[in-house]
A and B are shown apart, each in its own frame.
Chain A
Amino acid sequence: QKEVEQNSGPLSVPEGAIASLNCTYSDRGSQSFFWYRQYSGKSPELIMFIYSNGDKEDGRFTAQLNKASQYVSLLIRDSQPSDSATYLCAVPDRGSTLGRLYFGRGTQLTVWP
């Protein structure tokens, strides 16, 4: 059973600040990592994925991966109130031939104006 750990928060930042969301995982052999955003009462929406060590940037979002430390993070620059949501970290099951995902509990982010 894989473990995916996230600080459940809540994390509260002012508008325009950088929000930093963290995730650790137990399987050292994991190769890919996904970040989903989930608004209250809605379904998860894929916003970022990362396969390689280092940083991956997409607009205001940056995913950072450190496989040696088994740590993946999501940075949101210039945070907006519309970014207020729960952010889920997900790791695929490396042992299966199909893409089962293991999710963390999610970190609730609030961006206040």
Chain B
Amino acid sequence: DAGVTQSPTHLIKTRGQQVTLRCSPKSGHDTVSWYQQALGQGPQFIFQYYEEEERQRGNFPDRFSGHQFPNYSSELNVNALLLGDSALYLCASSLGASPEAFFGQGTRLTVV
């Protein structure tokens, strides 16, 4: 049973650039959530996708956008990167309304 997979695992980008992160949910899961985790902090909710729609959004600017595909996989896009966007980006999958979420290994984004 494949767990949650994310790609890439590490990424270095320059300030002002754009980045796309990818996530495949755990088999059987249909809901994908994205979190940002800064060093020494807990994960912060960015947004959540269900049935290919953004269902809920945290306190993040419009530079952060996403998409969910018919196979439930998802992308997180960040435009106009800032140094402060450097963090571990986590994808979590769950089934419907269940709060029991399983995380992928994360993408470490460094903005220089």
With A44-B43, A106-B42 in contact, do A99 and B102 touch (Cβ < 8 Å)? no
With A88-B42, A88-B43 in contact, do A98 and B55 touch (Cβ < 8 Å)? yes
Please name all residues of chain B whose beta carbon is closer than 8 Å to the beta carbon of A99 when the two chains form the complex: 31, 33, 94, 97-101
* Chain B interface bracket (under 10, 10 to 19, 20 to 34, 35 or more): 20 to 34
CA of A36 to CA of B103, assembled, Å: 10
The answer on a CB contact under 8 Å between A105 and B97 is: no
The answer on a CB contact under 8 Å between A92 and B99 is: yes
| Chain A min CB distance to B55 (Å) | 5
Instruction: Scan residues 22-68 of chain A and give those whose CB is less than 8 A from a CB of chain B.
Output: 32, 34, 36, 42-46, 49
The answer on a CB contact under 8 Å between A34 and B99 is: yes
Considering only CB atoms, which chain B residue lies closest to A108 in the complex? Answer: B40
What total of chain A residues lie within 8 Å of the partner, measured CB to CB?
Answer: 27
Confirm or deny: B105 has a beta carbon within 8 angstroms of a beta carbon on chain A.
Answer: yes
Please name all residues of chain A whose beta carbon is closer than 8 Å to the beta carbon of B102 when the two chains form the complex: 46
The answer on a CB contact under 8 Å between A42 and B105 is: yes
| Tally of contacts, chain A with chain B, CB under 8 A | 71
The answer on a CB contact under 8 Å between A101 and B40 is: no
CA of A7 to CA of B10, assembled, Å: 30
Please name all residues of chain A whose beta carbon is closer than 8 Å to the beta carbon of B98 when the two chains form the complex: 99
Instruction: Scan residues 5-22 of chain B and give those whose CB is less than 8 A from a CB of chain A.
Output: none
Please name all residues of chain B whose beta carbon is closer than 8 Å to the beta carbon of A8 when the two chains form the complex: 40
Please name all residues of chain B whose beta carbon is closer than 8 Å to the beta carbon of A93 when the two chains form the complex: 56
The answer on a CB contact under 8 Å between A101 and B45 is: yes
| Chain B min CB distance to A43 (Å) | 4
Contact with A along B14-57 (1 / 0, CB 8 A): 00000000000000000101010000111111001010000110
The answer on a CB contact under 8 Å between A101 and B101 is: yes
Please name all residues of chain B whose beta carbon is closer than 8 Å to the beta carbon of A100 when the two chains form the complex: 33, 45, 48, 56, 58, 99
The answer on a CB contact under 8 Å between A32 and B99 is: yes
Please name all residues of chain A whose beta carbon is closer than 8 Å to the beta carbon of B50 when the two chains form the complex: 98
Chain B interface residues toward A at CB < 8 A: 31, 33, 35, 40-45, 48, 50, 55-56, 58, 88, 90, 92, 94, 96-106
Top 4 A-B pairs ranked by shortest CB distance?
A: A103-B42, A99-B99, A92-B99, A43-B103
